[in-house]
Structure 1
Amino acid sequence: MQKYLLAFCLLFTCPAFGQLTSGLTGKKDTSYTNYSAYQSTSKQHPNIKLVREFKLPMVQEKRNLVYCTIGERKLVLDAFYPKKKSKQKTPAILIIHGGGWRSGNRTQHYPLAQRLAALGYACFTVEYRLSTEALYPAAVHDLKAALRWLRTNAKAFNLDTAKFAALGFSAGGELAAFIGTTNKNPKYEGRNCYLNISSQVQAIVDIDGTLSFVHPESGEGNDTRSISAATYWFGYPKKENYVLWEEASPLQHVSKNTPPTLFLNSAVDRMHAGRDDYRKILAQHNIYSEAHTFPNAPHAFCLFDPWFEPTVNYIANFLAKVF
């Protein structure tokens, strides 16, 4: 019944009703992977190369670490950090995968985590509940719980708890920005795991993630051909619950508490909807930001050569500057 109501509301304005759960299949959506991105992207960019995992002797790895348990559900992350322990504490980066809040996997960014760890950062690729399992704001709650776990376990990884960055690609970029713009806002902490610990981040890296679901530049919520990723995540078409779509937009929360932000973008304009308005607000509060666009680059540029190494360099240079 719910899927018919949702289809009706994609065409007509509906009275408010409960959040639709037809997208909660309980099954993993494996449609978005690095290889599937490569297959689609290489049609227009035949010279790209998919970046594979590295074997770096200076990087220590620990995988499948449980950071929060919700009922019987264990949420995990992976750690990539400098093998040689320094007297100086290590900045931490939480790396959030994309996939439309519905697909994708934390393993997609192992190469990025490995390269940044080799440059002296402790990187953590994180799993979070997708829209096949839980609707917004569950993913936000999970990621903030992961940050609290990192602070709780800071000694084990020699982390500098005053130098945490949230980094994400695509949907993960939106989530990284949302986490950072809701610093110090208890509404988005959730109710699970280490609630007396701070989830604050001191830097944001948004790689081609939208800043607003309702901005005129945004392409999110177009359900004319099929149900969009954002509609599945929220459980409402945009016009059925505009307020929720607006609330979930990082642009709605930018303030004096927002940390410095780096934007790395493809040539696909709609993927950085709201970016310029976001930066204007940061500038009003004298908060540093950078934006770099790769000409002619596809949306998934950070997964491929020739854009992977420039991406790493931009991130490392930005974090060195703000940390």
Structure 2
Amino acid sequence: MISRINHFREVFTLLALLLSGVGLFLSSWIVIPAPIFSLLPLGVGVPELSPWLVVLNAIAFGTTQGAIAFGVSLLGGRNSWLQRLTLGVTLVGLFLSLLPLVQLPATDKKMAVAMRDALGADYLKAIPHQMQSQLRLHPFILADAFRGIPRDEVRYTPNIQFAAPDRVPLTLDIYRPLQVGQYPAIVIVYGGGWQSGSPSAHSDFSRYMARRGYTVFAIAYRHAPRYQFPAQLDDVRAALTFIQQHATEYETDITRIALLGRSAGGHLAMLAAYQPDALPVRAVVNYYGPFNLTQGYKEPPKPDPLNVRAVLEAFLGGSPDERPEQYVQASPISYVTRPLPPTLLVHGSRDHIVEVRFAQNMYKRLCATGSTAILLEIPWAEHAFDSIFHGPSNQLALYYTERFLAWVLK
């Protein structure tokens, strides 16, 4: 009988150790940067799944405690070294998994202050009541982190061709509210290192914003290395021209258009909005996109899982020494010499593709020119954090992004 009890206790302890080990391995990516590209999804996704990890680590803790209590109560002996090790591993994993949630209230307060400082203490009062009623009620909703942000029904029209440069068909997808009307527009430019991606990326966000009273255009552009800069900028400008020409057909108020992009798309959105001869847009939103390509090339992140120098060379046709003018012309910071459209920058402090210091410098430059600018930093977030739409980072970003857009497109 005693041997069976011993065997059961060992199995229970090993189960607790397995759960603890998995929890610690996953939770460690909240603080450890991904050294290579294949591990980048862990660095990006794990912090955004931290509420699930808290549950996993809590289960591991309970299992470990159960194993310890079971061993003591049935055998009357001391806890084994394996049980003590398991308990220690569990506590470390639980501590790491709690980090994003613990930092969330202070981060929210800083973001609220940044919004008020840029837009005014009463900026929310300037937003029409109809738009205010559509906004998320809280910066973070724990239930949404588990069940997902509710998916809304909208009118979806995909694959509308807007241009064919060099015989390459470029298309856009349109998301509109269910009710026919005239709406402010958000033009979305996807990321992918200027080399990959499609308008269908981040469709949850596009649907979410359409349901809240916007016509959302998700546009395509030609990819490097076959097509190098300025082809991508030309394509974004072509899309804006097409939208203006078909504004009535697609229920768009052309006097209320904002550009929003992620990563390489955020870079292109800023470039398009900041050109001296830019088509008029009310605002630009840049999620973790690059700003100074020359400096980014000369000072790559450490670690560098994407190999940013190779990406930039494919986009611009060489290094800054070989193509200095291209790098200057392709850097949004080069155009910050005059007041520019209101700009929202959203960046993770742990970004190892485009480091947050570049966003901080861009923010300072924009403010120095008298431009309305806001920088929202998320301490635990990596590049592409909003790939997990219901994660803590994107919930915060979404809460303030929709308020910024409602204020600027009111």
Q: TM-score range by the shorter chain?
A: 0.7 to 0.9
Where 2:232 maps in the other structure, the secondary structure is helix
Question: What residue number does 1:56 align with?
Answer: 152
CA distance, structure 2, for counterparts of residue 257 and residue 72 of structure 1: 37
1:309 partnered with 2:395: yes
Deviation at 1:250, TM superposition (A): 0.2
Alignment of 1:283-294 (within 5 A): 283-294=367-378
Q: Do 2:199 and 2:219's aligned partners in 1 also have CA atoms closer than 8 Å?
A: yes
CA pair 50-113 structure 1, distance change in 2 beyond 3 A: farther
Question: What residue number does 2:206 align with?
Answer: 113
The one of 261, 271, 288 aligned to 1:208 = 288
Question: What residue number does 1:73 align with?
Answer: 168
What runs of 5+ residues in structure 1 fail to find an aligned partner? Answer: 1-34, 186-198
CA distance, structure 2, for counterparts of residue 184 and residue 313 of structure 1: 32
Q: Do 2:40 and 2:305's aligned partners in 1 also have CA atoms closer than 8 Å?
A: no
CA distance, structure 2, for counterparts of residue 203 and residue 45 of structure 1: 28
CA pair 36-277 structure 1, distance change in 2 beyond 3 A: closer
Q: Do 1:215 and 1:273's aligned partners in 2 also have CA atoms closer than 8 Å?
A: no
Question: What residue number does 1:219 align with?
Answer: 300
Question: What residue number does 1:230 align with?
Answer: 312
More helix by share: 2
The one of 225, 235, 247 aligned to 2:329 = 247
CA distance, structure 2, for counterparts of residue 45 and residue 155 of structure 1: 39
CA pair 54-214 structure 1, distance change in 2 beyond 3 A: same
State the identity %: 25
Question: What residue number does 1:22 align with?
Answer: none
TM-score w.r.t. length of structure 2 = 0.60
CA distance, structure 1, for counterparts of residue 241 and residue 387 of structure 2: 28
TM-score w.r.t. length of structure 1 = 0.75
CA distance, structure 1, for counterparts of residue 311 and residue 396 of structure 2: 29
Where 2:256 maps in the other structure, the secondary structure is strand
Q: Do 1:37 and 1:300's aligned partners in 2 also have CA atoms closer than 8 Å?
A: no
CA distance, structure 1, for counterparts of residue 149 and residue 201 of structure 2: 9
Structure 1 segments of 4+ aligned residues over 4 angstroms from their partners: 35-40, 43-46, 48-55, 222-227
CA pair 268-122 structure 1, distance change in 2 beyond 3 A: same
Return the index of the structure with the highest Cα Rg. Answer: 2
CA pair 224-322 structure 1, distance change in 2 beyond 3 A: closer
Deviation at 1:157, TM superposition (A): 2.0
Q: Do 1:170 and 1:208's aligned partners in 2 also have CA atoms closer than 8 Å?
A: yes
Aligned pairs, number: 272
Where 1:240 maps in the other structure, the secondary structure is coil
Question: What residue number does 2:21 align with?
Answer: none
CA distance, structure 2, for counterparts of residue 224 and residue 158 of structure 1: 40
CA distance, structure 2, for counterparts of residue 225 and residue 36 of structure 1: 14
> Match for 1:201: what amino acid?
V
Give RMSD over aligned pairs. Answer: 3.0
Question: What residue number does 1:102 align with?
Answer: 195
Alignment of 1:184-199 (within 5 A): 184=277, 199=279
Q: Do 2:183 and 2:215's aligned partners in 1 also have CA atoms closer than 8 Å?
A: yes
Where 1:245 maps in the other structure, the secondary structure is helix
What runs of 5+ residues in structure 2 fail to find an aligned partner? Answer: 1-37, 53-144
